Amino acid sequence: MTPQTPLTTADPRPTTPPRLSAWVRPVLNKVPEVTILFWVVKILSTTVGETAADFLSGNLGLGLPATTAVMSVLFVAALIWQLSTRRYVPAVYWLTVVLVSVVGTLFSDNLVDNLGVSLWTTTAIFSVALAAAFVGWYRSEHTLSIHTIVTRRREAWYWFAILCTFSLGTSAGDLISEKLALGYATAALIFVGVIALVAVAHYGFRVNAVLTFWTAYVLTRPFGASIGDFLTAAPKDGGLGLGTNGTSIVFLVVIVTIVGSFTVQARRADRLLDARR
């Protein structure tokens, strides 16, 4: 579900004069190529976001407010680092994704667990927030394609949308698996089935690539969260009881390994580009 075409026929690449703000000054595209491994790392990061949030707030006894404060600071630091780079740096980009997955999860959990907001309401709230992010992004940049993240302003819209997808995915996933009492395994199967339908819509019926990409991006969040809950929850709660510690560590090792391969590929590409100059 790779968005190859932006929602506008105009050339999306900016022709910004060099004296303008860094937020609208052109940079190299800051988003990785969308491949199978992209989706693998994205799903793993959503699972880590779910298990890490539970571990920090529960096992370490920090509680949701303190955990949210700490992780938000770390996320903002990583985001500033990401925005300061002028090209896609795999380690920085995926560190930001992992942290935004944790923060997005905590935003939803705080509303539900601390403020007593229903999952139906939080799902609606984050749906509206995501829609607002897309409307603002499109009105500002005239495209939602991730292949045109070539200014920092576009990248800021991109990360705001990403944050909304993780919070929405958390609420929607919890709504399906808990409030509707379908169980974590059933919820995971439902979400993977819908993701498969989105893939068929894109590859089989040529449904708009931008639309199918962002739909899949939202759906992979509750899918990954359902997997995380299924692996870590106690058997009496419908899980395998593997615990958050082991699950988080294993998934983080896999993420680091794949991101390491991305880094090697990026460095090879840079050397080839330098050799041709």
Higher-confidence residue of 166 and 15: namely: 166
Highest average pLDDT, of 8-22, 169-183, 195-209, comes from: 195-209
Kindly state the DSSP code that residue 113 receives in the 8-state scheme: I
pTM for this structure?
Answer: 0.83
Per-residue burial over 160-191, b if 16 or more Cβ lie within 10 Å, else e, is bbbbbbbbbbbbbbbbbbbeeebbbbbbbebb
Q: Using CA of residue 158, residue 160, residue 164, residue 166, what is the dihedral sign? A: positive
Please, are residues 31 and 88 in contact by the beta-carbon 8 Å criterion?
A: yes
Q: 220: number of CA atoms within 13 Å, CB side? A: 22
- Average of per-residue pLDDT values in the chain: 84
Quick: pLDDT tens for 184-216: 888 889 999 999 999 999 999 999 999 999 999
Q: Residue 269's pLDDT band (boundaries 50, 70, 90)?
A: confident
E-strand stretches of 47-99: none
Q: What is the pLDDT of residue 133?
A: 96
Q: What is the pLDDT of residue 233?
A: 84
| pLDDT over 60 at 17, yes or no | no
Instruction: Work out the burial of residue 261: count CB atoms within 10 Å of its CB; fewer than 13 is exposed, 13-18 middle, 19 or more buried.
Output: exposed
| pLDDT over 80 at 164, yes or no | yes
Distances (CA, A) of 53 to 29, 69, 99: 30, 12, 10
Please, are residues 163 and 104 in contact by the beta-carbon 8 Å criterion?
A: yes
Kindly state the DSSP code that residue 179 receives in the 8-state scheme: I
Instruction: Say which range, 18-27, 234-243, 246-255, has the weakest mean pLDDT.
Output: 18-27
Which candidate, 78, 60, 79, 71, places its Cα nearest to that of 110? 71
Query: Tokens 């937020």, residue?
Result: 23
Please, are residues 235 and 241 in contact by the beta-carbon 8 Å criterion?
A: yes
Amino acid in position 263:
T
239: β partners:
none
Q: What is the pLDDT of residue 105?
A: 86
Tokens at 32, concatenated: 């990785």
CB neighbourhood size of 76 (10 A) = 12
Could you tell me the residue ranges of all domains in the chain? 51-276
Residues 75-92, mean pLDDT to the nearest whole number: 94
Q: Residue 28's pLDDT band (boundaries 50, 70, 90)?
A: low
Tokens at 170, concatenated: 């958390």
Distance in angstroms (rounded) separating the CA atoms of residues 28 and 210: 20
Residues recorded for the chain: 277
| pLDDT over 90 at 116, yes or no | yes
| pLDDT over 90 at 247, yes or no | no
Q: What is the pLDDT of residue 181?
A: 77
